[in-house]
Chains A and B, each alone.
Chain A
Amino acid sequence: MFIVKYIKEVLSAIRSLLVGMRRTGYYFTHHKEIITEQYPDNRNTLVMADRFKGEVVLTHDENNEHACTGCTACELACPNATIKIVTKFDITPEGKKKKAIDKFVYHLELCTMCNLCIVACPTDAIKMAQTFEHSVYDRSELTKILNKPDSKIRAGIE
């Protein structure tokens, strides 16, 4: 019947409005939920969201070893040519030539933090860091070489 449908509509509308007001009322009274970071003041205790992606880094362990084999999967995955891998050939103790990275060139100024390179990496050598204070005076400073000087590939990673 029309009138019953009408009244039901009104009551369900009021109910849905009250559900919304209960949610916002909860936030209004529970100040511990506040997520504001007062950034320059709390720079040392800053809590970043897990999903925040700041820049690509190549992880090195304490022996200055990384896990990058120089396969260029990240370079191929990058949609705007942010990564450029320069390879070289190391001579192994057995006298064989082995491919390794010479320079892992990363153009931060071109990067959109899309995460495709991290997904593409077969050895989990690179990851996204949460740093964000990237301002510099010249854009050439944004072109970074991610592998540290004299770093080697970790043993056992092919």
Chain B
Amino acid sequence: MIIEMVIAGIAVIGLFAALGLVLVIMERRVAAWIQIRLGPNRVGPKGMLQSLADTVKLLVKEGMTPNGADKFLFNFAPFIAMMVAMLLMAPIAFAKDFQLWDMNIGVLYITAISSIMVISILMAGWASNNKYSLMGAMRSGAQIVSYELSAGLSILTIVVFTGSLNITDIITAQADGWWIFKGHIPVIISFVIFIIAVTAETNRAPFDLAEAESELTAGFHTEYSGMKFALFFLAEYINVFIVCAIGATLFLGGWMPFHIGHWEAFNQVMDYIPSSIWFFGKTFFLIFVIMWFRWTFPRLRIDQLLNLEWKYLLPISMFNLLLATAMAILGWHF
């Protein structure tokens, strides 16, 4: 039991390190191509080792703690961010029968744990004893608390259709077609709302008010440097991966291959592709979409941000949930 836990812990840390490196280089490459640039092209073949070099640089930098800061909270906040990211890894099904902890309330667990993230941001912002940090943290708090609602409601749509909070049940329910195809319009609407809400929850552009370079220098992590900064940076990318993995699991069938009705030959070819490739392919597709958002849309103002949530996303997702419930009760899906 203990050995299993140690192996799982090491695997998760290894996955974090690999994801950090891959996602940072992917983001820079996507950004460059969208902005008609080349992107990193000096370190290693085609610049692929750039993020490794950056990591080494961050490791050898001095980790400063400002004099006026609350030292304990200041140093503790990055670790909460990482802990939340690690806890969120537990119920995710990476491949067929490959899951750290298959609990019966997987979806509830994910929504509950992911809202702890805001505590680490508030803690970092408050402990820095810096106005920029505090304002960034407060904005982030308002933002995450608001967007949790519509993210939760759009997840509930799938829970209503499946009738289970268990991740494995949700995936097996999609064996004859992913929810985005089976669920008609309500699932498509809730998928769009989910993507918008998780982009806001992970504090990424166009909702990056918590960092807002042009107004708040770097928001809640203004005072952080070296490895503590790297932990926040890593936690942001891990969170992007996790929310995309959840989106892929709920709406795009997790590790389920893509099947079309009665095309037996086509379905068998699809089954031949390993389930882990299906899972990571879908997840990275969603990550790409979120990066695409970031490099296309301009940032919202704080009042526009709250308007979008309270006047548009929340009413639409509530109505949508009602529609989905009616459909599930009347059996109007495949």
Distance of A25 Cα from B34 Cα, bound (Å)? 7
> Known contacts being A20-B296, A20-B297, is A36 close to B316, with CB within 8 Å?
no
Q: What bracket does the count of chain A residues touching chain B fall in?
A: 10 to 19
Contact size range, B: 10 to 19
**How far is B38's CA from A31's CA once the two chains are assembled, in angstroms?**
9
Tell me the minimal C-beta distance from B189 to chain A in angstroms. Answer: 10
Q: Which residues on B sit within 8 Å (CB–CB) of A38?
A: 38, 41
Question: B304-334: which residues lie under 8 A (CB-CB) from chain A?
Answer: 312, 316
Bound-state CA distance A89–B247 (Å) is 83
Assess whether A27 is in contact with B34, with CB atoms less than 8 Å apart.
yes
Q: Is the CB of B292 within 8 A of A25?
A: yes
Is A24's CB within 8 Å of the partner chain B? yes
A10-B312, A24-B292 in contact; A31/B297 too (CB < 8 A)?
no
What secondary structure prevails in chain A residues at the interface with B? helix
**Contact (Cβ within 8 A) B292 A34:** no
Does B56 sit within 8 A of A, measured CB to CB?
A: no
**B30, A34: Cβ atoms closer than 8 Å:** no
Q: CB-defined interface of B59-73 with A at 8 Å, one 1/0 digit per residue?
A: 000000000000000
Indicate if A48 sits at the interface (CB-CB under 8 A): no
CB under 8 Å from chain B, chain A span 15-60: 17, 20-21, 23-25, 27-28, 31, 33-36, 38
Is B33's CB within 8 Å of the partner chain A?
yes
- Cα separation A25 to B36 with both chains bound (whole Å): 11
Taking CB atoms, residues of chain B closer than 8 Å to A34 are 33, 36-38
Known contacts A20-B297, A21-B296: A27-B38 contact under CB 8 Å: no
Q: From residue A136, how far is it (CB to closest CB) to chain B in Å?
A: 28
A-B pairs with beta carbons under 8 Å apart, 15 shown: A14-B192, A17-B296, A17-B297, A20-B297, A23-B296, A24-B292, A24-B295, A25-B292, A27-B34, A28-B33, A28-B34, A31-B33, A35-B36, A35-B37, A38-B41
A-B pairs, 9 with minimum CB distance: A24-B296, A36-B38, A24-B34, A28-B33, A20-B296, A28-B34, A36-B37, A33-B36, A21-B296
